[in-house]
A and B are shown apart, each in its own frame.
Chain A
Amino acid sequence: MDEPLLDVRDLSMSWPSAERPVLRNVSLRVRSGEFVAILGANGSGKTTFLKCIVRLVTPESGSILVAGQQMAGLTGAGLQRARRNVALISQSANLVKRRSVVANVATGSLGRRPEWWTSAGALPQSELELASRYLQTVGLEHLGTQRAATLSGGQAQRVAIARALAQQPQVLLADEPVANLDPEAADDLLRLLRRLAREDGLAVCCVLHQPDLAIAYADRVVGFSDGSVAFDAVSSAVSQAMVDSLYRSEPAA
C-alpha cells in the first residue's frame, strides 16, 4: 500500500492559558488521491490541527510527516523549505486585493522561486503562464487580468486554490473553505477539491461544518471531539448517530 503523504501521529497541543489540551494524541493519515473531511463542533481542535501541520502553531508532542519530511521541530529556513510541500486554504481567500488574479496565483510559486528578483517584487513570465494554467484548472482563466478585489467569494476561494496549486504541494489542507459560500458555489468548490485529489494525486484534508457535504464529497470522514479523534470512517459508513455524537459533546467549560 502507498505511503501516506500526510502522516500525523500522536499530536498533542495546549494553549498556555487553557485548562484542557486542544489536541490529545491525534493521529491521521491521508494518502495520495484521498480526500478526507474533518467534522467537529466549534472548539474541537480541527483548525488547530491544520495549523499544527503547517506549523503556524507549535505542537507539544507528536510527529507530522508531510511527503516523508518531518515538520515537527523544524524552525527557520528548514521550516520554510518544508512548507512548500503543504498548502493551506483558509476560510478567507487572503488574496492581495490590489493585484491581478493571475499575479495572486503566481505568488504561490514564491517558495519554489527564491531568486533575488522574485524577492524584489517581480514574477517570472514562466510562473505567470503556469498561473494561467492553474486558473484554467479552477475554471477562472477568463478573470486573470482582473483585480482580485473585484471577485465574488466563490471566485476568490477558487483563486486561493489556484495559488495553492502554483505552490505545487503534495498535501492540500483546507479550513472551512465553503463557510462563506452559497450552496452551489460550495458544491463546485468541493467537487474541485475532490477532482484535484483524484486526478492530480494530492492528499486533501478539509475541515467542514456541513456533514452532508463531507459525506457526499470526501472519501473518508474524521470526527473530532474535544481534541481527539472520535471516529475515522469511509464516508459511506458514517451514520447520522456518529455525526450527532460530535455536536452533542461540547467541550467542558
Chain B
Amino acid sequence: MSGVARLRPRLLACAGAGAFLAVLVQAAFVTGARPQDLLTGVHGMADILHRSFPPNLSLWSQAFRPTLETLDTALLGTVAGVVFAVPFAVLAARNTTPSPVLYALARGSIALFRAVPDLVWALLFVSAVGLGAFPGVLALSVHSIGMLGRLFAEVIEDIDMGPVEALSLTGAGRIAVFTHAVVPGVAPSLLGIALYRLDENIRASIVLGFVGAGGIGFQLLSAMNLFQYRDVSFYLIVNFALVIAVERASAALRKRVL
C-alpha cells in the first residue's frame, strides 16, 4: 500500500472532524451562546434560589385540581391518540394496508401530525375552542397520533407473517386474521409504546399550560409572571412528583405486559 493510500483514511477522518467542529461553531454563533454569561448570571440564579426557599406548601389545596387537570389532559390525550393511531398504523404498514393510496394518505397524515409540535397544536386549538384543558387534550391527541402512528406501523411491519398466512388459509376474513394473528403479536409492544407516550404527554401537558391549555403549567407560569418564586418552587416540586409517579407507574405496567 502506498504512503498516500495509507494516509487517506486519516485525512478523511481529520476533514470530517474539522467539518463537525465548524458546524458546532456556527451553531454557537447563531444561538448566541456565551459561556461567560453563566458566570455573570450566578448572582441572579442564587437570588432566585434564595427567593424560592422555602416552597410555599400552603398552596397544596389549590394545586390539587390543576395537577389532576394536567394528569387527565395527558391521560385523555394519550388514550385518544392510541385509539386513532391504531387505524392509521394499520393503513400505514405495508403488510396490512389494503391499498397503496390509503398507505400514502395514512403516512402523509401521520407525518403532518408529527411534524407540527404539540405546542403549536395547542395554540391552534386554544384559538379554536378557547382556554382550558380541552385544547390541551386535543393537541396531545393529534400529536400522539403522529408519534404513535409511525411507531405502531413499524411494529406491525415487523410482525411474523407466518401466522397471518396460516389464518388466511383457513378461510378467515381479513378482519378476523388481523384480530387473531396480528393483534396478539403486537399488543404488548403497542401497549409499551403507549405507556412511554403517556410519560412524554405528562411532561408535554405541563408545558401546554404555558399557552393557556390549563393544568399545573398554567399555575407555574402565573407564579413566574408574578415573581412569586416560593410558589414557583412549590409547583416545580409538584411537577417533579407527578412526572416521577407516572414514570414509575408506567414502568411497572410495561414490565407486566412485556
Interface residues of A (CB under 8 A from B): 54, 56, 80-84, 87-88, 90, 92, 94-99, 107-112, 114, 118-121, 160, 163, 167
Which residues from A are CB-within-8-Å of B165? 56, 94
Contact assessment for B184 and A96 in the assembled complex, using a CB-CB cutoff below 8 Å: yes
For the residues of A in contact with B, the DSSP-based class is loop
Contact assessment for A84 and B175 in the assembled complex, using a CB-CB cutoff below 8 Å: no
B171-208 toward A: CB 8 Å interface, digit per residue (1/0)?
11101110111011101100000000000000000000
Interface residues of B (CB under 8 A from A): 160, 162-163, 165-173, 175-177, 179-181, 183-185, 187-188
Contact assessment for B166 and A94 in the assembled complex, using a CB-CB cutoff below 8 Å: yes
CB B169 to nearest CB in A, in angstroms, measures 5
Which residues from B are CB-within-8-Å of A121? 179-180, 183
CB B178 to nearest CB in A, in angstroms, measures 9
Closest to A83 in B: B171
Question: Would you list the 10 A-B pairs with minimal beta carbon distance, nearest first?
Answer: A111-B171, A94-B162, A110-B172, A84-B171, A121-B179, A94-B166, A83-B171, A111-B170, A119-B175, A119-B176
For the residues of B in contact with A, the DSSP-based class is helix
Given contacts A95-B163, A97-B185, A98-B188, contact A83 B169 (CB under 8 A): yes
Say which residue of B160, B162, B170, B184 sits within 8 Å of A110 (CB atoms).
Answer: B170
Cα(A110)–Cα(B175), bound, Å:
11
Say which residue of A82, A108, A111, A120 sits within 8 Å of B179 (CB atoms).
Answer: A120
Contact assessment for B166 and A90 in the assembled complex, using a CB-CB cutoff below 8 Å: yes
14 more A-B residue pairs beyond the given contacts A110-B177, A111-B171, A119-B175, with a C-beta to C-beta distance below 8 A: A56-B165, A84-B171, A87-B169, A88-B169, A90-B166, A96-B180, A96-B185, A107-B172, A109-B170, A114-B176, A119-B173, A120-B179, A121-B183, A163-B166
Contact assessment for A110 and B185 in the assembled complex, using a CB-CB cutoff below 8 Å: no
Closest to A92 in B: B162
Contact assessment for A167 and B171 in the assembled complex, using a CB-CB cutoff below 8 Å: yes
Given contacts A94-B166, A119-B179, contact A99 B184 (CB under 8 A): yes
Q: Which of A110, A120, A121 has the most CB of B within 10 A?
A: A110
* A–B Cβ pairs within 8 angstroms, 14 of them: A56-B169, A80-B171, A83-B169, A88-B169, A90-B166, A94-B163, A96-B184, A97-B185, A99-B184, A109-B170, A110-B167, A114-B172, A119-B173, A163-B170
Which residues from B are CB-within-8-Å of A160? 166
Contact assessment for B180 and A110 in the assembled complex, using a CB-CB cutoff below 8 Å: yes
Which residues from A are CB-within-8-Å of B162? 90, 92, 94
Cα(A92)–Cα(B165), bound, Å:
11
Say which residue of A81, A97, A110 sits within 8 Å of B176 (CB atoms).
Answer: A110
Which residues from A are CB-within-8-Å of B175? 119
